Amino acid sequence: MHPPPPVTFAAERLDLIAEGEAAHFWYGPRRALLLDTIAAAGLATGSRVLDVGCGTGGLVRALLERGYDARGIDPWALRSGLDPARHVVGQAEAVPAGDGSADAVCAFDVLEHADDGLALAEFARVLVPGGRLFVSVPAHAWLWSARDTLAGHRRRYSRRMLRRRVADAGFEVERIFGYQCLLLPLLAAARAMARLRGRDDTSAEDRPGPFVNAALLAINRSELVFGRVLRPPTGSSLVLVARRRSETRAVGGH
């Protein structure tokens, strides 16, 4: 197991997520999408699921309600007051779990903070052969903004880049699709405008006004509805589903 590197995700960002998670236009639909994606993979009730980078613990709670044996790992698990029976302190590059101890690993908005080569090797290590990997990452390098810097991101991903990194770690990629496809043009325009103005204020995205938030929430929810039939190929984020191959090989960091 590799020693963990310094944490790049500030505790203050987690506080901001906790503050807006219940009502913010991004978090609610995203949570529903990720739970739908996990359910569609056909995991049996009681499957052992590790949520790496579990943040506020909301996904772990939702998975427990659905009958999975879910546990969370996060650098700030103790600070956040999460149940120590279900959550431990740890990082993606050094997952505190035994070899082959999980049937599924979730890493939602985690790889962009990490040495993704080491992290994916760790996910392969803790998964049983055939175990499932669920990942989400921010998409498109051209969307990079002050928000990425403040969040401690190291990169944004293209479909090709994400597929290659995951496959190189010993996984068979099954699906890649986008989230926030309908809002992508608006987001791209907003970030381009901010760069032209030389502004690094992220408050409009972090704390949108109630009417703006309601409109954006309705758009993201509508995407979930049609997305159950036809997943969009891109968006401001990418979601990936993969399966661990029987034989894996160690990979270096990127």
* Torsional class of 46: left (φ above 0), alpha (ψ -120 to 50), beta (otherwise): left
What confidence score (pLDDT) does residue 204 get? Answer: 66
| 3-state SS assignment for residue 69 | strand
Per-residue pLDDT 10s for the chain (254 aa) are: 445 555 555 555 554 454 556 678 888 899 999 999 999 999 999 999 999 999 889 999 999 999 999 999 999 888 778 999 999 999 999 999 999 999 999 999 999 999 999 999 999 999 999 999 999 999 999 999 888 888 889 999 999 999 999 999 999 999 999 999 999 999 888 888 877 776 665 666 777 888 999 999 999 999 988 877 788 999 999 999 999 998 755 444 44
21: its two tokens: 């998670």
Which residues have C-beta within 8 Å of that of residue 46, sequence separation ≥ 6? 67, 68, 69
Question: Long-range contact list for 127-131, CB < 8 A, 24+ apart?
Answer: 127/100, 127/102, 127/103, 127/244, 128/100, 128/102, 128/103, 128/244, 129/100, 129/244, 129/245, 129/246, 130/243, 130/244, 130/246, 131/102, 131/103, 131/104, 131/105, 131/243, 131/244
What confidence score (pLDDT) does residue 17 get? Answer: 52
Prediction pTM value: 0.87
- The CATH code of domain 11-244 reads 3.40.50.150
